[in-house]
């Protein structure tokens, strides 16, 4: 199987006030075929204090989720430090360096995007997105943030619906997790 032919994830996060939401679609495609429509790509970690969405090779993403959970145990209530330590390990470890995935993680205070090249990025405007339909979802969310008073979860749901209507690798089977006042 050609991993380059695997598509099908859109992950979006919106932070608004004291609330942060991460949403992910459920579609996994192989070439032009949808092989799964209800994958769950958003998870709660660290006793529900952290939410995480992932894109990329599933086994690689699960490996990184396990490593992140370990870092969160090592550095409780320090999401940024846990992510920086994971990114350093991911970048320098010979095995981890080959993992092909990205993650968006958030707690009550910070949102971060992590990549295998060592990036730990806090997004501007409280909006970040990754995956096949990420650019569509991010653009829609930014517009909704600027033009409406919707809460974070509503913006995630509406922006993901827009992304699903544009990107053939994104569907409307959403998993959304929220931290903060609803």
Which residues have a catalytic role annotated? 9
Angle at 58 between CA 70 and CA 119, to 5 degrees: 60
d(CA 131, CA 141): 15
Which DSSP letter does residue 122 get? Answer: P
Q: Computed over its alpha carbons, how large is the radius of gyration of the chain?
A: 15
If residue 60 lies in a helix (H) or strand (E), which one and from where to where?
A: helix 58-74
Which DSSP letter does residue 48 get? Answer: T
Q: Which residue has the tokens 């209530």?
A: 77
d(CA 27, CA 9): 6
d(CA 51, CA 162): 23
Contact criterion met (CB below 8 Å) for 167 and 34: no
């Amino acid at each position: 199987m050609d991993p380059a032919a695997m598509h099908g994830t859109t992950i979006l996060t919106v932070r608004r006030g004291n609330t942060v939401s991460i949403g992910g679609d459920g579609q996994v495609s192989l070439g032009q075929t949808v092989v799964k429509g209800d994958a769950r790509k958003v998870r709660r970690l660290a006793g529900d204090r952290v939410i995480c969405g992932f894109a990329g090779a599933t086994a690689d993403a699960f490996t990184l989720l396990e490593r992140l959970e370990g870092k969160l145990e090592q550095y409780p209530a320090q999401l940024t430090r846990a992510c920086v330590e994971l990114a350093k390990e991911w970048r320098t470890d010979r095995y981890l360096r080959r993992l092909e995935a990205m993650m968006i993680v958030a707690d009550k205070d910070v949102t971060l995007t992590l990549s295998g090249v060592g990036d730990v990025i806090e997004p501007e405007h409280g909006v970040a997105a990754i995956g096949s339909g990420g650019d569509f979802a991010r653009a829609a969310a930014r517009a909704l943030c600027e033009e409406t008073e919707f809460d974070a979860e509503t913006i995630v749901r509406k922006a993901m619906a827009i992304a699903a209507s544009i990107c053939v690798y994104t569907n409307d089977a959403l998993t959304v997790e929220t931290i903060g006042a609803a």
